[in-house]
A and B are shown apart, each in its own frame.
Chain A
């Protein structure tokens, strides 16, 4: 029961703090923001690794590798694209 309470608290805390921080993000950065949070949501990669913390059947191995590969695609791709976009935003600023 304590566990449940703790997990709920973690969820609510992160949600509220995330919400407050994100409400300060200017509209012009919304696309890079979504692209970055999308990369963060691939944190499910942790779950993929934990799948292999116990004995797995062949079927589970296949699923696990697929999940890890997709999540890795998501994170790395997401951060790289976000970086490319933000470079566009930065480029002009010093000169103007």
Chain B
């Protein structure tokens, strides 16, 4: 009698949540969708509280208020460049919550658990704990506190396999053991899973970070779902599954954008570029510092900024290609000013955004939105790639691999076969990168030696300000 009623209420909550996600089809509806999802979560919380006797309401409220307040404060302070690090950190927080709950449920109800409950408890602990440590590493890397380049331990794949094997053994022990052994083996599982997360994510870096962060999104959802199975709560299972779906889809989209499969990202071969990556610490284009003198050196012959300004003046159709280097140099505001200046001069300006530009899916769009770029001028790779051949000037700001024609022509490089923005097809190209070093992949970019390219190396923010002056 009561059951049908409860089921109906739960279904409504899940539908509100799905409606919220559906709203993300358009930028104008998404904000309402976000509110709807938050409302659905709030309802779920109230429902669970009403249906179950909460023996320690004061403790629950303290936890809610403390966590909520800190979350709120941090969320208001974070800037848009830090978003990937923040999101990764939150994946970790979700992982911790999932594994703690699975752990407590697993160890205190060991006698009464069904086989399904036991199994999902074990999985919840392992996936939650691994998500936690993996996310912390990802967050430290994205926040610049750890080197962004992959850290390769000796026999890395062997260690990874060893930890996995240990997890399997401990899982089997927990599966077969009574209450005493269960506590010990569960603790062992937590420790091992944390080690797994670290070993797993420490060797992923640079341009692969969007894949990692999407994957952790999926595992955080999965952990929540398993956590829901052990406590037999449908709302938890449903929400967790939705998140897992979202994470999986984004993981797939990111892999496809790089033309790599998941296995290649997570278990990278000792790739030939590893050596060249050593010479050129990759995406770690050290911000600013050396910039001014580089600009001076370059300008001693024929000032590239002046040439770029001339090219911009005579061009009719301009495409701007922003990359992560733009974000590192905090140059997005100058880039947008530059675009606005050109538009005032009557030129057609578009932005071409590669799917992996930035450090998480869609990051570049957020950065450009923050700088108030015209959303109608932003195009994805598929929409704009045919336009390059009729474009007079392509302005590349802090991007390398995503416009590297070697991806098309060269064989056996890490980026071979990766879809790129066809900047090389334009009549003229201006590159505003920090230096001539290859991008994260370590593959030399033939664009730099192309006669139609104007190289303006140095801090993009400073060079673009100079360029703006030249256009006044």
Residues of chain A whose beta carbon lies under 8 Å from any beta carbon of chain B: 3-4, 6-7, 10-19, 21-56, 60-61, 63-93, 96
Contact = CB atoms under 8 A, between A and B. Distances in A.
A22 B98 CA distance: 23
B243 A76 contact: no
Contact of B55 (A13, A53, A73): A53
B310 interface: no
Can you list the 8 inter-chain pairs with the closest CB atoms, starting with the nearest?
A: A30-B362, A77-B71, A72-B67, A68-B63, A69-B67, A18-B242, A18-B245, A80-B75
A49 to B, nearest CB: 6
A36 B34 contact: yes
B105 interface: yes
Contacts of A54: 55
Contacts of B227: 44, 47
Given A14-B241, A52-B55, A73 B67 contact: yes
Interface in B242-284: 242-250, 253
Contacts of A69: 63-64, 66-67, 70
Contact of A73 (B25, B71, B242): B71
Interface string B73-96: 011101010010011001101101
Given A35-B87, A41-B94, A27 B361 contact: yes
Contacts of A27: 253, 353, 355, 361-362, 365, 380
A52 B59 contact: yes
B224 A81 contact: no
Contacts of A78: 71, 75, 90
Given A14-B241, A89-B369, A31 B360 contact: yes
B239 A39 contact: no
B470 interface: no
Nearest to B135: A38
B97 interface: yes
Nearest to B372: A92
Contacts of A34: 87, 213-214, 217, 246-247, 250, 360-362
A91 to B, nearest CB: 7
A61 B56 CA distance: 9
B31 A87 contact: yes
A42 B98 CA distance: 8
B66 A22 contact: no
Interface string B107-122: 0100000001000000
Contacts of A41: 91, 94, 217, 220-221, 223-224, 239-240, 243
**Is chain B's binding surface mostly helix, strand, loop or mixed?**
helix
A22 B56 contact: no
Contacts of B52: 49-50, 53
B317 interface: no
B290 interface: no
A25 B71 contact: no
A43 B71 contact: no
Contacts of B242: 14-15, 17-18, 37, 40
Contacts of A52: 54-57, 59-60
A92 B14 CA distance: 32
A42 B80 CA distance: 22
B336 to A, nearest CB: 10
Contacts of B373: 92
A42 B243 CA distance: 10
Interface in B276-316: none
Q: Most B CB atoms within 10 A — which of A13, A37, A53, A55?
A: A37
22 contacts: A7-B229, A15-B244, A19-B245, A22-B245, A32-B34, A39-B38, A44-B101, A46-B48, A47-B102, A47-B228, A53-B52, A66-B96, A67-B101, A69-B64, A70-B93, A70-B96, A70-B97, A72-B65, A73-B71, A73-B93, A74-B90, A88-B370
